[in-house]
Each structure stands twice: as C-alpha cells, then as structure tokens.
Structure 1
Amino acid sequence: MNDLQREYQDLVQADRHLAAGEQRIAEQLALIQRMVEQGYETARAKDLLRLLEETMVAWRDHHQLILDTIARHERALSRPPLADPGPKAP
C-alpha cells in the first residue's frame, strides 16, 4: 500500500469519527434537554458536551490535515518527472 492509499484510508476513518462525534453531540444535547425538562442538574452533562465539541474541533483539524496531505500527494503524482540535466560542467 502506498502513502496516498493510506491517506485515503485515514480519510475514511476520520469521516467515520466525525459522523460518530456529531451523533454523540446530538444525543448529549437531547439528554441535556430532557434533564432540564425534568429538573435535573445539568452541569456535568454540559461539561461532557463541551468536551465532545472540543474533540470535534481536533477531529476536524485532523480531517483537514489528511485532505491537505492527499492534495500534496496528488500534485506530486501529476507533475512530470524532472529531466536529467546530465553531467555538470566544470
């Protein structure tokens, strides 16, 4: 497996992590809403929500790094090879 293929695999995994993270945040928001409606203390639930949101920021940054790396690899592959300049003159 080459570097570009590995990056594409990493991108698929990063996409899965982002989707799962969004789902967890939605579930946590729903939980907090139910807790508020039922009169429960929500400080710890909101702390967890903040942590989930911070994690998503890091995962989005990582996702962007993967995209940047893929673009760099693809540019390198699309460049024509450099011509051999031959022996250097004295």
Structure 2
Amino acid sequence: MNDLQQEREDLIAADRHLAAGEQRIAAQLALIQRMTRDGYDTTLARDLLRVLDETMATWQEHRRLILDAIARHERASSNPPRTNPGPEAP
C-alpha cells in the first residue's frame, strides 16, 4: 500500500470515528436531559460531554490533516519532480 492509499484508509477511519463520536454525544445529551428531568446531579455527565466535545475537535483536526496529506500526495503525483536539464538546455 502506498502513502496515498494509506491516507485514504486513514480518512475512512477518521470519518468512522467522527460518526461514532457524534452518536456518543447525542446519547450523552439525551442522558443529561433524562437525568435533569429526574432530578439527578449531572455534573459528571456534563464533564464527560465536555471531554467528548474536546475529543471531537481533536478528531476533526486530525481529519483535516489527513485531507491536507492527501492533497499533497495528489499534487506530487500529478506534478512529477523535474530534473535539472543542466546549462546546455535552451
């Protein structure tokens, strides 16, 4: 597997992680609503939600870095390096 293929595989994994994270956040929000409605202390649940939000931000940045790497690989493959023709070239 070459570097570009690996980056594309990494992008697929990052998208899976982000989708799972969104589901976890939705579930945590629903839990906090139920706990609030039922009169429970939601301090720890809200702390966990904050950590989930921070994790999502990190994963989103990681995804952006993967996209940047893919773009660099694609540019490199479409623009092969030029060889120096030397002083006798026109």
TM-score normalised over the length of structure 1: 0.92
Residue 82 of structure 2: SS of its match in structure 1? coil
Matches of residues 22-33 of structure 1 in structure 2 within 5 Å? 22-33=22-33
Alignment: residue pair count: 88
Please tell me the root mean square deviation across aligned C-alpha atoms, in Å. Answer: 1.4
Match of 2:12 in 1: 12
AA in 1 matched with 2:2: N
Residue 10 of structure 1: SS of its match in structure 2? helix
AA in 1 matched with 2:75: R
Q: Quick one: distance in 1 between partners of 2:24 and 2:81? A: 47
Percent identity, aligned pairs only, is: 67
Task: Kindly state the Cα deviation for residue 82 of structure 1 after the two structures are TM-superposed.
Answer: 1.1
Q: Quick one: distance in 2 between partners of 1:23 and 1:48? A: 14
Q: Quick one: distance in 1 between partners of 2:65 and 2:43? A: 33
Task: Kindly state the Cα deviation for residue 47 of structure 1 after the two structures are TM-superposed.
Answer: 0.1
Structure 1 gap ranges (5+)? none
Residue 23 of structure 1: SS of its match in structure 2? helix
Q: Which runs of 4+ in 1 moved over 4 A?
A: none
Q: Quick one: distance in 1 between partners of 2:51 and 2:63? A: 18
1:85 aligns with 2:85: yes
Matches of residues 39-78 of structure 1 in structure 2 within 5 Å? 39-78=39-78
TM-score normalised over the length of structure 2: 0.92
Q: Quick one: distance in 1 between partners of 2:79 and 2:33? A: 54
